[in-house]
A = this chain, B = another copy of it.
Amino acid sequence: MKLTILGCHSATPRWDANPTSQVLEVKGHLFLIDCAEGTQVQLRRFKVKFSRVKHVFISHLHGDHFFGLVGLIATFRLLGRTADLHIYGPKGIKEAILLQLKLGKSYTNYGLYFHELESKTSQLIFEDDKVCVTTIPLDHRVYTNGFLFQEKIGERSLNIEKARELNIEMSYYHKIKQGADGITKDGKTVPNTLITFDPPAPKSYAYCSDTAYFPEIVPQITKATALYHETTFLDKDHHLAEKTKHSTAKEAAVIAKKAEVGTLILGHYSGRYNSLESFRSEAQEIFEPVQLAEDGKVFDI
Chain A residues within 8 Å of B, Cβ to Cβ = 11-15, 37-38, 40-41, 44-45, 60-63, 66-68, 70-71, 74-75, 78-79, 90, 92-93, 95-96, 99-100, 103-106, 141-142
Contacts and interface: CB of A to CB of B under 8 A. Distances in A.
A144 to B, nearest CB: 11
Nearest to A63: B74
B105 A75 contact: no
Chain copies in the assembled complex:
2
A105 B142 contact: yes
Contacts of A142: 103-105
Given A37-B71, A70-B67, A62 B106 contact: yes
A231 B75 CA distance: 20
Instruction: Rank and list the top 8 A-B pairs by shortest CB-CB distance, nearest first.
Output: A61-B103, A63-B74, A12-B75, A92-B103, A37-B71, A62-B104, A67-B71, A15-B45
A100 B104 CA distance: 16
Contact of A67 (B62, B74, B92, B95): B74
Contact of A96 (B12, B14, B71, B100): B100
A78 B11 contact: yes
Contacts of A71: 12-13, 37, 63, 67
A11 B99 CA distance: 19
A6 to B, nearest CB: 12
B37 A15 contact: no
A110 to B, nearest CB: 16
Nearest to A69: B67
Nearest to A46: B15
Given A96-B99, A105-B141, A105-B142, A40 B13 contact: yes
Nearest to A76: B12
Given A15-B44, A45-B15, A103 B99 contact: no
Contact of A13 (B41, B60, B70, B79): B41
B37 A12 contact: no
B44 A14 contact: yes
B99 A61 contact: no
A41 B66 contact: no
> Which residue, of A14, A37, A67, A95, has the highest number of chain B Cβ atoms within 10 A?
A37
A13 B61 CA distance: 22
A28 B250 CA distance: 48
A95 to B, nearest CB: 7
